[in-house]
Each structure stands twice: as structure tokens, then as C-alpha cells.
Chain A
Amino acid sequence: MSNENHSVADETIKISPDMFERATGAQKEDSEKIAAPSLSFLQDSWRRLKKNKAAVLSLIVLILMMLASVAAPILAPRDPNAQVIQHANLPPKIPGVDINGLNGTSVAGTTRVDKYEQQNVPDDVYYFLGTDSLGRDLLSRILYGTRVSLLIAFVAALFDLTIGVTYGLVSGWYGGRVDNVMQRILEIISGVPNLVVVILMLLVLNPGITSIIIALAITGWISMARVVRAQTLKLKNQEYILAARALGESPVQIALKHLIPNLSGVIIIQTMFSIPSAIFFEAFLSFIGIGIPAPTASLGTLINDGYKTFRFLPHLMWYPAGVICVLMIAFNLLADGLRDAFDPKMKD
């Protein structure tokens, strides 16, 4: 046995005989830390969310956008559908701002001209974000449009969270024959394309928000149901679920106390997928002419209209597109923040 490997007592240490007395409890002090404040899981999650700056900022932005769209009738400077043909295609003009693009001028050919002057718009008339080809105020249209798009987003999220989650939980939890039947039903529903549902809806309803919402109600929650079911199947044999059953917990309580909190991550992610797809679904329907009927604005229709004249009047596309981008980014950052906030393992 080679022993140069093992160091022998280091002589640099000052050793005095009294050091060989028994150590007292205080010297041994084990590192029991002070208890964390007594908060509920939700309070705890809120506390963690507040630490995430991007998520908080996103939350504020979303709240502001929501307030603005709810208050659209008050905030909007003009009627969004009122056409003032003489004022068509005006660029943005904001009082007191003299920056190209925001001062009512635009480039025609090679020279920059004041469009407002050209079209004889009175001096005290300002269109903050300009007008479209029918002379409608873009700002007002965006405010109303956001309202429609957010409504659709929330309806989609609502169906996801109610029908989708419940369907998935029931199917996964009961398993066996119940699961079998429920899965077959899902397959049938998902076999029918959304578009067909909307077109069928046109037989009984006029095109518009109602038929889009009904289409979402019928098919929008399917992928949520699938994801939740798969996770439930996995979770239900976890020992903490068995322990809850052994304690006599009812299935509803198990779902609320154990399954949903542990599914929160996938539920949030899935919701965040379905919100943009619902918004774009509406835009697509409007584009092919069976969505929101003509004068009503939504972010989708605004972008579509703007895109047609993008070369000459870029602001008609930029502003609604900007709003949608901000919405999407805010939703995603908030979702990330929420997912982390619901995970107690994240360091805080």
C-alpha cells in the first residue's frame, strides 16, 4: 500500500489540548434556516411572478391594451366606420410633432409633400395614425379592432381552459372505456376542419363574431384536451395521487388540488398556442370574406387591408401589425413568467 497518497497531520494548525473537549450544541449548530413566510401557493406564485420584470411589464402592457380596447368608445377620437372620402389615405399627423412620418407629410415621387394641405384638410384636424383609403381614422379602427381580437383571444382561452381541460381530465382520469369513447369523439370532431364548421355555420347565421366563437367552441379546445389527457394518464398513477385517494379525497378535489396545479405548465403553454392561432384564424376568415363583415375592424382585417396598399401607405400595415406583435410578445413573456411562477423549484 502506497501511503504517500495520504497526508499526515498538518503541523501548521495550532492545536491546544482544550480543543479536544466535547463540542457544545451551539458549536455544532446545524443550519436550520428560518421558515419561509406563510403564504398560499397562489400568493407564493404571485410573489415569484413579481420578481420577473419582463412578465410584470407584459402584464401591465396587456392590462393597458385591454383597458384601452374596453374603453374604445370613449377613447376613440372618431367613429371607426365613418367614411370621409375627402380625407382618404392621409398619413399620420400628431399636433406639435415635426418628424417625417408623423407630421402629415409623405413622399410622392421624389419630393415630400404635405398631404393634409394637398387634400384641403382643415388645420385643426389631426389623424394621429392616419386614414385608410375610405378616409376612416386608423387609430379608432385599431382600438376597435384590438377589442375584437382580444375578445376572440379570450373566448379561445376560455374554451381551452373550461372544455379542453375538463374533457382531458375526465378522459384521462377515468381511463378505460370512458376514455375510449371520449377519444373517439375527439377524433371525429377534429376530423372536421374548422373552415367547414364556419361555412356550415353560415347556413344558419350571418358571418361575424358569433359564428367564429361557435366554431372555436366546437373545435378550438381539442389539442388542449389531448395534452391534458396525456398528462393526466401519467400523473394519476403518481404516488401522491394514490395517497390522496387513500385519504378519501373526491375526484373533483383531486383534480383541483393535485392534477391542475401540476398540469399548470402544460396548460399555460397550450393556451398561449391557441390564443394567437385564434386571432389569426379570425384574420384568415376575414381575409377570405367569411369572417367579420366589411365595415367592422379587427386586427386581422386591418393587416389584410394594409397589406394590399403596403407599397404606398405603409402605415396602414405597420400600426396594426405592431399592435399584434406587442400583444403576442406580451402574451408569451407573461406565459413564461407564469409557468416559472407556478413552479416552486424555481429559485426566488
Chain B
Amino acid sequence: MSNILEVKDLNITFDTFAGKVQAIRGVNFDLKKGETLAIVGESGSGKSVTTRSIMRLLSQNANIEKGEILFNGQDLVKKSEKDMQGIRGKEIAMIFQDPMTSLNPTTTIGKQVAEPLRIHQNMNKEEAHARALKLLELVGLPNAKNRMKQYPHQFSGGQRQRIVIAIALACSPEILIADEPTTALDVTIQAQILELMKQLQSKIDTSIIFITHDLGVVANVADRVAVMYAGKIVEVGTVDEIFYNPQHPYTWGLLASMPTLETEGSLYAIPGTPPDLLDPPKGDAFAPRNAYAMKIDTEYEPPMFKISDTHYAATWLLHEDAPAVEPPAEIKARQELFKKRYAEGHPVAEGGTV
């Protein structure tokens, strides 16, 4: 598969009153045609900033210090604002977290879906309208024909998010960036939206970058997963590699802190708080909270170690001189459980059908 997007050594800072915030500190990743890459990580780890920089929608006080963002081989960092306007919404589209604020309350939803078509694809009014109707039907808006004339407030949160998705998909973008698209919704509606996105992806073959901190959602939608911590990607791999064979202590902590339906006793919790990016610590930023930290972690930043062709992690634990360590008991217990479940041959547990 070919890479549609490659991000290389991206560094972004923000000028603030208190000083320079080093929000992104050397991020590398790539995105393949038709795949879904999930970015997970703690609040403030830089997920939104990374994706906004791809759209070049960063705030005024942001500086891209270093790095390339190659979209089909062209560096988006070097593009003019005018060129970017042609790319935004047409080739790369974005869905935001809050379905309430990303729609214009004073325009009918039909017009809002038709607008990008008229701008980017020079359709006339009738063509755009017809296509908008198709899109709204595609995202499963009931009675789309009549409801196109309605305003955003006349829809529920889940329906609004569907409309936002329809707008994002209007020009069949090559990349769709979804920044926590379901965090504001409850589980039932979340499930509908996730299903919808998967269906649409198989129809129009877009690549998706999906940001979330809900690991359940990641397991559901992702092909590959990148784990971010303090402005860096600390582990990247296929969804199975990350969930069944995690290597970075932060990934361990993240996975272990989410109870499965079988968890008993106390939960594994990552102690402490994330570092202050105004003044990132020397060495591995995760070291102060890491029960496995070694002396070297306080001195040098770990490079990416290769585990398989698709799986990399930035932790000194993978160095050949490092002592062998056992992941937390929760992680091991979980792996046992998974193994057992599949051995018994009925992966679908309770609540499967009615």
C-alpha cells in the first residue's frame, strides 16, 4: 500500500505569556490509502495540534519549527494559504468534537452540505442540491429530502454529527481527520456514528485519522494505532500489536487503566501528572511517572526501537542491554483472558444478539 500522507520530524511550538510551549516535539508517522489510523494519548499530549497542522489550521501563536508534512509527495508546510484553501475540504476534510458548534445555526443544513460542492467542484445549484441529498441519505439521515430545509437546532446531537460527516465527505476527500467525533455523544449514538464511518470508508476508500482517548473506540475503528505522550509518538503499530503485544510502559498503563468486564480488585492507574511542556524534562518525558524507569531514561530520550515491520516503540526497555521486565499484572491477565476466550472459540460474549 502506498503512503498518502507522511509526517516527518514535526516540531511545533506556541508562544504564550509564560514562554514557549513545546507542544509537538518530533512527530513521525505515515498514513496509507484506505486505512484508519487512530491517535490516542492523554489530554494535552498534542493529538489535536498534530492534526490541525496537517490542515494548517493552527492558531496565530503557533510556529511550525521544523518538519515536513508530505501529502501525495507535496509538502503542505510550504503551501500558501491560498493553495491550502483548495486542499481543505476538498482533499483533506476534518470533523470536530462538538457537533453543536461546527454547524452554522442560521443556514439550512441542505445549503451547508451543498456549499463545499459549489466551491470546490463548481457545481451549479441544482447539481449541488441533488448531490447534497444523496450525501444526507448516505449518512442515514431519515427523511432527508424534507429535512434538508431545516436548521441545525432541529436535529439531535447524533444527527448533527451525521450532517457534519456528510459535509466532510461532500468532495470525497482523500483524507478525513476526525478529532474526537464521538466524545460528546452517548454510547448508543457513538456506535451508530462509528458504524457509519466504517461503511462510508469502504464505499469511497478514504484514509481516516481518528483521534480519541477511548480505547474501546480505537479497538473498534482502527487499523493502526499511534500512542502519543507529551508531544511525541511513543508507540505505533497495528491495532492487534498495540492491544495484544504493547511494549511501551505508557501504553501498558493506558490499557491497564481501562477495566474489562472481568476486572476485579483495584484498577491499575498511572501515577502523577503529565509534564509541563513549557519546560519538558530531560530524557524520557514519561520517566517521572514510569515504574520501570531506568537511569538512562533520565539522561537520554529513547529512539524508536523496531519490534516488527509495523511495530515501533520509543522506550529504552527495548535496548539489548536493558533488563527483561514483566508488564503489569493487569496486562498479562488481560492477554491470558483474550487467549482463553479465543481458544474457547466464542469471541462474542454477552449482549450479542436479541
Q: Which residues of A contact B (CB under 8 A)?
A: 1-3, 5-10, 13, 15, 17-23, 27-31, 347
Contact = CB atoms under 8 A, between A and B. Distances in A.
B30 interface: yes
Contacts of B272: 30
Interface in B65-115: none
A283 B323 CA distance: 84
29 contacts: A1-B30, A1-B309, A2-B6, A3-B306, A8-B303, A9-B303, A10-B303, A15-B321, A17-B321, A19-B294, A20-B295, A20-B316, A20-B319, A20-B321, A22-B294, A23-B294, A23-B295, A23-B298, A27-B293, A27-B295, A28-B287, A28-B293, A28-B298, A30-B272, A30-B273, A30-B288, A30-B289, A31-B288, A347-B18
Given A1-B309, A31-B276, A20 B288 contact: no
Contacts of A8: 303-306
Given A28-B287, A31-B276, A21 B294 contact: yes
Given A20-B295, A20-B316, A347-B17, A3 B309 contact: yes
Contacts of B300: 13, 15
Nearest to B3: A2
Interface string B271-315: 011011000010000011110111111111001111001101000
Interface residues of B, number: 39
A27 B298 contact: yes
Nearest to B303: A9
Of residues A6, A10, A27, which shows the largest number of chain B Cβ atoms within 10 Å of its Cβ? A6
A53 to B, nearest CB: 17
B150 interface: no
A1 B296 CA distance: 30
B295 A18 contact: yes
B165 to A, nearest CB: 28
B310 A23 contact: no
Contacts of A21: 294-295
Contact of B29 (A5, A7, A27, A347): A5
Interface in B110-134: none
A105 B36 CA distance: 87
A69 B109 CA distance: 64
A328 to B, nearest CB: 28
B28 interface: yes
Interface in B14-30: 17-18, 28-30
Contacts of B297: 23
Interface of B: 3, 6, 8, 17-18, 28-30, 236, 272-273, 275-276, 281, 287-290, 292-300, 303-306, 309-310, 312, 316, 319, 321-323
Given A3-B309, A5-B30, A6-B304, A20 B276 contact: no
Contacts of B30: 1-2, 5
A155 B108 CA distance: 52
A21 B321 CA distance: 10
A22 B303 contact: no
A18 B293 CA distance: 13
Contacts of B309: 1, 3
Contacts of A9: 303, 305, 319
Nearest to A12: B300
A233 to B, nearest CB: 20
B293 A20 contact: no
Contacts of A23: 287, 293-295, 297-298
A2 B2 CA distance: 9
Given A6-B312, A18-B295, 7 more contacts: A6-B306, A8-B304, A8-B305, A27-B295, A28-B287, A30-B289, A347-B17
Contacts of A18: 295
A15 B296 contact: yes
Nearest 9 pairs of A and B residues by beta carbon: A19-B296, A6-B304, A23-B293, A30-B288, A19-B295, A1-B310, A27-B298, A5-B28, A9-B303
A20 B8 CA distance: 29
Nearest to A13: B300
Nearest to B302: A9
A17 B316 CA distance: 12
Contacts of B8: 5
B294 A7 contact: no
Contacts of B292: 22
A136 B214 CA distance: 80
A192 B304 CA distance: 75
Given A5-B30, A13-B300, A15-B319, A20 B294 contact: yes
A28 B29 CA distance: 29
A121 B6 CA distance: 90
Nearest to A24: B295
A7 B303 contact: yes
